[in-house]
Amino acid sequence: MELHQQVESLLAQSPRTRPRDAARQLGVSEAALVASAVGRTATRLRPAWTELFR
């Protein structure tokens, strides 16, 4: 089962679970948990770092 499916299953059972706690229960980092949601509930930021420093 893919990580995003595991997260959805966990949240279906315990909807008030915080992302940090869900990551711990699934044995992954919180960053991996968020990355598994890119395209669904998370948006990947574009790396336009040079524009930030102008």
Do 4 and 40 form a contact (C-beta atoms < 8 A)?
yes
Which of these, 18, 17, 22, 24, lies nearest to 4 by C-alpha position?
Answer: 22
Distance CA 26, CA 53 (A): 38
For 1-51, the pLDDT digits (tens) are 799 899 999 999 999 999 999 999 999 999 999 888 888 878 788 888 788
What percentage of residues in the chain have a pLDDT greater than 90? 57
Cβ-contact 16, 45 below 8 angstroms:
no
Beta partners for residue 38, in sequence order: 42
Tell if the pTM clears 0.75, that is, is over it.
no
